[in-house]
Amino acid sequence: MTFPVVGMVGGGQLARMTHEAGIPLGIRFKLLSDTPQDSAAQVVSDVVVGDYRDLDTLRDFARGCDVITFDHEHVPTEHLRALEADGVPVRPGPEALVHAQDKGVMRARLDAIGIPCPRHRIVSDPADVAAFAAELERGGPEGPSGEDGGGRRAGGFPVVLKTVRGGYDGKGVWVVNSAEEAAEPFKAGVPVLAEEKVDFVRELAANVVRSPHGQAVAYPVVESRQVNGVCDTVIAPAPDLDEELALKAEEMALTIAKELGVVGHLAVELFQTRDGRILVNELAMRPHNSGHWSMDGAITSQFANHVRAVLDLPLGDPRPRARWTVMVNVLGGDYPDMYSAYLHCMARDPQLKIHMYGKDVKPGRKVGHVNTYGDDLDDVLERARHAAGYLRGTITE
């Protein structure tokens, strides 16, 4: 066979859905998974169970792969450099991926290329946090364009603290109101990033995909609604978003992808401030929760375009198929038998799209998502929320 083999490091739902997108193209996948029970390991035929933190394991896995990509950002940067030195195409490469792995590196680089971010500083202890808050109180430090970086008020507590590496879905993030509350993040002995707490109107996400030869596409900017630090609902496109601001968000994401040398999918999570600006919150260099709507709502999904990009194929059309698409995550609750809920959900809404990840149901765990679409946003939102709630067991009729 002449079809390439994509090596996917990580066996979660992102790998599962990326593999699904490659099936119609005849693309073969090889998976490095933590366990045989992982979401993607259940559906990929060629599975290696091993530790992605072990270089020898990675090198053995890479044999027979035409390209290596990821469903998470946790592979050690030095291991990725070693794979590249071995002649293995790694996409995104380590020099790009480090900006999604290390928040301190990311903030410094975005400052250097003039991308607006919340005001921030690497801090070493609670006293340093207090000094940062005092500096915010005085109106500094300034953003890269010489303006107040956060668009809220002249600073002080509360301050957001983040572990520089490893945080995800609200983990490794603290909002502190005093130096006394700031002790916890330093107990792990890892660098900590302090940021101002931005007074934002809502959270947005700009998703783009870039290929090795420089072709790039941008999906419509979406609104992302969080509950307890976890993405709950995504609306595509973001309702009532000024066209000029939407264009600016897309341009920022495309600039970041180009300047950082990203190959594959890039999600840029954004704050929309009360004074009408947008600030970069986080970066993810892989398919992202804010792009799951595209599986049913776009001409080419984020997963299909990620596969095309890492293989340097021409990218597909990112435009939406419907006026509105809504994605709602299905979180685990106290009702483990989700399959029995299909009868009600599918009968109530024949257009509903359900995507389950093959995960055991645990409270608060992402076990799937639903997509709905149509011309009436209120109707599309209600259908998605009802289906997700019924699957979880919080809605019973």
Q: What is the pLDDT of residue 144?
A: 40
Say if CB 209 and CB 254 are below 8 A apart: no
Q: What is the pLDDT of residue 143?
A: 46
Architecture of the domain spanning 200-392 = 2-Layer Sandwich (3.30)
Q: What is the pLDDT of residue 166?
A: 76
Delimit the domains of the chain by residue range: 5-90, 119-196, 200-392
Q: Report the DSSP beta bridge partners of residue 330.
A: 368
Hey, what CATH class is 5-90 in? alpha beta
Q: What is the pLDDT of residue 147?
A: 44
The structure's pTM equals 0.93
Residues of the chain with pLDDT under 70: 1, 140-155, 167-170
Report how far apart, in Å, the C-alpha atoms of 41 and of each of 3, 20, 26, 32, 111 are.
21, 12, 18, 9, 39
Q: What is the DSSP letter of 320?
A: B
Nearest C-alpha neighbor of 160 from the set 148, 173, 150, 151 = 173
| Topology of domain 119-196, CATH | Dna Ligase; domain 1 (3.30.1490)
